[in-house]
Structure 1
Amino acid sequence: MAASLAVLPESADGPVFPAGSRLTYEPGGQVELSSPPAADPAACAAGLSADQAVLRAALGAEGLRLTGTGTDPLDRERRMQATHPRYRAMERYFGRGGPWGRIMMTGTASVQVCVDAGTEHTYVDRWRLAHLLGPVLVGAFANSPLLEGRPTGWKSTRQLVWSRMDPSRTLAPPPLADPREAWTRYVLDATVLCVRRPEGLPWDAPAGLSFRDWLRGAGERGAELADLDYHRTTLFPPVRPRGHLELRMIDAQPGEGWRVPLALVSALMDDPLAAEEARVALERLGHAGSRAPRSGLWRRAAALGMADAELRRAALACFSAAERALARRDGLLRPALLEFAERYPARGRCPADDQLAALRTGAGPALEEDAPC
């Protein structure tokens, strides 16, 4: 594939695609395209589709195809293909808590929708809405019912995996009044996953060292601002602030199915009327209890998808609000949203049900998709 992409201009981060997307490789062989910021969702989708076509062609030249599922559905050895010391340290760190970290690193994939964090007057509401929306995004787009060739009993096995991992870096921050305070406390209390060292040395961090402890003098050397910046890249809550809000709870989708969560999230977050309609519907679900993704509501979404009647009603309300928002502005993504809503939540289904139906007919886990990713 490198030869096929050699015609693209290079940056320090790798090849730069025609619309500006960047390509990164994940530890299990997953490929990730990250689009640049765009003025609106339609422009983002157009650019990312064009860059996805370039990547698809490069892979096709090597006899490879992209597929979009939240977990690798095949029964095969999980190999760490990344050799960077970050990933080696991460593998050992998560390995102390069971198999879940290795499964996440080598066998899962997601769609991450990034939206503006908001202004001084709106960021609290946007932060809260992003978290309220989480269970609907998990359930509506659940697309990982298989692992190691077998059904797991969960529509989003990927969310199950995340819920079993280190809570100091995978749970949502505590629901404090000010998200900035909540995030600051979260970052400081999270256990340090790795410490960058000179070439040739492992990056493993002392066991049980929080960043707060490191700042107070624990560890082999004093913590620096660069260490804090890097530490934040090793935290994986469902909604991660990075100057913007990164929604991480959505399973990878087949074909260009990523357009639908992009349309849904952006419409609900950016249209005030749609945001209020969604908030009312989502608050009816009740969000008390453990923090996401370990709360009962999030677990129901991951286990049942749109077969859960309450979640289905909330999802349909959100899709309807988003559809009306898209009708009020550039509606290029509206047809994809409507088609998905009719095919899945309106029928109590999610993409995972397609995989399970194929398995029941004897087709087995698909190596390819009818619509290439």
Structure 2
Amino acid sequence: MPQGSSAPPTSQTPGASPALSETAAEDLVHGICFKTGPPRTLGAELEWLVLDAERPGEILPPDRLTAAHEAARALRLHSRLSIEPGGQLELSSAPAPSLSGCVDGLQADLTAVRTALRSQGLVLHGTGRDPRRPLRRLLSSPRYDAMEIHFDRTGPAGRAMMCSTASVQVCVDAGYEEPGPLGHGRRWRLAHLLGAVFVAAFANSPAHEGPYAGWRCARQGIWSDLDARRALAPPPDAEPRAGWTRHALDTEVMCVRSHDGGPWAVPPGLTFRDWLRAGGAADGTGSADGPPALRPPTAEDLEYHLTTLFPPVRPRGHLEFRMIDAQPGDDGWLVPVAVVHALFDDPEAAEGAYRVAKALADTHGSRPAPRNPLWQSAARHGLADPELRTAAAALFRAAAEALPRLGASRHVQDVVGAFTERFVLRGRCPADDGYLQLTGTGARS
């Protein structure tokens, strides 16, 4: 579980690697995406909007955002700090052997970052979507330039995702190779079935106008609208490695990185499998069905391609939960980190979660996330959906019972308990609670 696992590889140009065959590509995806073994480590990635403390509804000019980022980068942090294309600030924990190890480092780093920003009249704000306009990309790089070109072909959702969304991502180990409550096959399926409940319980991106008007989790709508496959999960009943490998290779290539530092090519309609077959692969099985000007793909290209796939649960050796909105308040992010950890890493809670998931699967398990109707209801209605409310109450109860067994601090237990009482047991989510809603001209409660 590498620190900063959502970030692309540090190398921005491909190395002199040999061409890759289709068989070798399948083996590579098998090997790097599900690293099985005892669940031991936990990680979290927290994204935040940076706002003016006195005028949160105003869009910060680029120079103030850049100064805020520089102040944060100057700090000595436990976590990896990175900047998203729209200027959102992200803290990614190092892999931790316990919940306390994960959250203690993040809490210390957040305190330091908040103090540094406060001196500039700025604050961190936890919300899943920034509705202010216009959308402006702060960062320019070959990756983000290519990403914007690719997503612009299908509509505005790509720019909205890059510049206006924020999340809490929780990373847990893939699990044992063998079947059982902590086996990787069950954990993979469980993650997708319970993902809708997490969308609903932690929905914090309400929309009051536009294509997602009335939704509790407009951020999920944005991700669903990116393109036909990039944010889609594999079929729920597929064996994890085989299903993910097919999905990854049959998804369009977002970009082909250049050798000379120039702009990256953005070939339309070319899947990675097409590229393998068109690129004169090393085993001689290439065909002439693709653009002949493309160089043959390498293992480095495949690893990079995997970083451009954005399903709700992404296998990166570990499992990366990507469906949870950024949470309000100083400690709101603790709740999804603690709940996901409890439900996936405590055997008793995992068994209880599986029973909840099985009941959901009996009704909703035939279509992949996020196009599954339950996911769509979660994004639109949050826990006002009675089926999701019932499931969430059972899951949060199981998590609360597991947290003491996992060594969670009293503070973490209290924060989870308060969230459960305030939202889950009442069929509500943070989007329902009247938190600050940002507009282009100011802010309102």
Q: Identify the residue that residue 117 of structure 1 maps to in structure 2.
A: 174
Deviation, 1:260, is 0.3
TM-score, normalised to structure 1's length?
Answer: 0.90
Q: Distance in 1 between matches of 2:299 and 2:322?
A: 25
2:101 corresponds to 1:24: no
Q: Distance in 2 between matches of 1:130 and 1:316?
A: 17
Q: Distance in 2 between matches of 1:45 and 1:141?
A: 18
2:126 corresponds to 1:68: yes
Q: 1:356 to 1:150 in 2, by over 3 A?
A: farther
Q: Distance in 1 between matches of 2:346 and 2:270?
A: 42
2:328 corresponds to 1:269: no
Q: Identify the residue that residue 349 of structure 1 maps to in structure 2.
A: 428
Q: Identify the residue that residue 259 of structure 1 maps to in structure 2.
A: 334
Q: Identify the residue that residue 236 of structure 1 maps to in structure 2.
A: 310
2:165 corresponds to 1:108: yes
Deviation, 1:7, is 4.4
Q: Distance in 2 between matches of 1:196 and 1:355?
A: 44
2:223 corresponds to 1:182: no
Check whether the contact 1:28–1:105 (CA below 8 A) recurs between aligned residues: yes
Q: Letter of the aligned partner of 2:138 in structure 1? A: Q
Q: Letter of the aligned partner of 2:393 in structure 1? A: L
Taking the TM superposition and a 5 Å limit, the aligned residue runs for 1:256-335 are 256-285=331-360, 286-332=363-409, 333-335=412-414
Deviation, 1:349, is 0.8
Structure 1 unmatched ranges of 5 or more: 9-16, 367-373
Deviation, 1:131, is 1.1
Q: Identify the residue that residue 13 of structure 1 maps to in structure 2.
A: none
Q: Distance in 2 between matches of 1:228 and 1:54?
A: 37
Check whether the contact 1:355–1:365 (CA below 8 A) recurs between aligned residues: no
RMSD: 2.1
Per-residue displacement from partner, 1:226-256 (whole Å, max 9, x unpaired)? 0000000000000000011000000000122
Q: Distance in 2 between matches of 1:189 and 1:131?
A: 20
Check whether the contact 1:306–1:345 (CA below 8 A) recurs between aligned residues: yes
Deviation, 1:202, is 1.6
Q: Distance in 2 between matches of 1:68 and 1:149?
A: 21
Q: 1:3 to 1:183 in 2, by over 3 A?
A: closer
Deviation, 1:288, is 3.0
Q: How many residues align structurally? A: 353
Q: Distance in 1 between matches of 2:312 and 2:156?
A: 20
Q: Distance in 1 between matches of 2:258 and 2:311?
A: 26
Deviation, 1:18, is 3.0
Q: 1:154 to 1:213 in 2, by over 3 A?
A: same
Q: Please, which moves more after superposition, 350-359 or 87-96? A: 350-359
Check whether the contact 2:230–2:251 (CA below 8 A) recurs between aligned residues: yes
Deviation, 1:177, is 4.0
Q: 1:60 to 1:267 in 2, by over 3 A?
A: same
Q: 1:84 aligns with which of 135, 141, 147?
A: 141
2:307 corresponds to 1:246: no
Per-residue displacement from partner, 1:155-212 (whole Å, max 9, x unpaired)? 0000011111212211111234420111111110010001111455221321101000
Q: Identify the residue that residue 4 of structure 2 maps to in structure 1.
A: none
Deviation, 1:2, is 5.2
Q: 1:277 to 1:2 in 2, by over 3 A?
A: closer
Q: Letter of the aligned partner of 1:188 in structure 2? A: L
Q: 1:150 to 1:124 in 2, by over 3 A?
A: closer
Structure 2 unmatched ranges of 5 or more: 1-67, 279-289
Check whether the contact 1:73–1:148 (CA below 8 A) recurs between aligned residues: no
Q: Letter of the aligned partner of 1:324 in structure 2? A: E
Taking every aligned residue pair, what percent have the same amino acid on both sides? Answer: 55
Check whether the contact 2:84–2:90 (CA below 8 A) recurs between aligned residues: yes
